Amino acid sequence: MEQTLTLKYLKSKFVWRDVADAARTTIRMDEGEKEPSGAWKRRILLSEHSPIRQMTFKWKWINLKYWVSVHFVRHKIGIEHFVSTQRTDRTGVNRDDTPQSAPVNHECFANAQSLIFISRKRLCRQASPETTAAWKLVLAEVKTCEPELFSVCVPECVYRGFCPEFKTCGYASTEAFQKALEAYRNGD
């Protein structure tokens, strides 16, 4: 019986004014008093300037297939992974008898830059559907708390304006791609 993949939580920890003040520091401006606008937030996220790395998020997948977990563990910059062990001495189950589809819990702590990068790879139509589905659980929560960040979490082809894959899926040649690209550029 397969267990259902769930996202236990998504927590964000940062203040937009801190991000804006870090940006001001880099251009030798004094700290500001007002909250940055939605347009400014989206612009700094699109530019991927260093202050966005102050934006941190924490989430936990429950019952993620081990082989899907491995896809996420490959992401290293700006993210930490905590995956439940399959060690025989800790679980009492022979590790060699555990299938790659066995469920694990996978907790992450990551910055906004990392979420943008992971989206580029895991929203690609060449990514496994199971991995994409797990990532979309995270992005659904991001959308509710940080819509500007959600709007810049796009697949690689939309991010670059063309498909860089060796084996393309053909999406970059469609009208839907053109609409997605326009929405990404315009913030729709």
Domains of the chain: 6-153 (3.30.1360.170), 156-188 (no CATH)
> pTM for the full model?
0.93
pLDDT at 44: 97
Contact 19, 36 (CB under 8 A): yes
- Counting residues of the chain whose pLDDT is more than 90, the rounded percentage is 87
Average pLDDT over residues 114-124: 98
